[in-house]
Amino acid sequence: MDPTRRRIRKIDRDAQRFVARALDNTHLSLSDYDMIHTVEHRPGITQEELRRKYAQDKSTVARRAAKLEAQGYLERRPHPEDKRRKQLFITEKGRAVRNAKVDAETFYFEWLTAELSDQELEALCPILDRIQLRSRDERRQEFVHLLEAYARNHPREKA
């Protein structure tokens, strides 16, 4: 039984819905924002690296990158060592929309925690830090340990 009853996911989903409404003039999906965010933090990332990171097919990543380039959020450039590969870079417009998303998220979470006392926040934040660091560390290892544990506990039926 999940002791959190998926509350973290539910809060995250509400935050995403708020951000989407607050920034409705951009008409970007959450996946678009994720790509912009990743490109800002990893300038020059290739479409193939994004494909692996997001576990999406090549054409999906290429279409999304082309769309974001056409809208002026990203710039695709040929890789200096292999002209067939494309590297992605954020534009000023992309940086501005990413910052607007961060501002909206910050506003939402400040509102969400506004009724908590300083003592409650002091208790909550270290726990959230531990959970987030555990999640981040496993993600950076491409969920290898978690996927192994999941497979052991959820065997697939053979087709």
CB 64 within 8 A of CB 28: no
| Mean local confidence (pLDDT), 68-90 | 92
- Report the C-alpha gap between 82 and 155 in whole angstroms: 41
Give the contacts of 100 (CB within 8 A, at least 6 positions apart): 23, 26
pLDDT in tens, 22-35: 988 788 888 899 99
Tabulate helix, strand, coil % of the chain (nearest 5).
65, 10, 25
* Mean pLDDT score across all residues of the chain: 92
pTM value?
A: 0.80
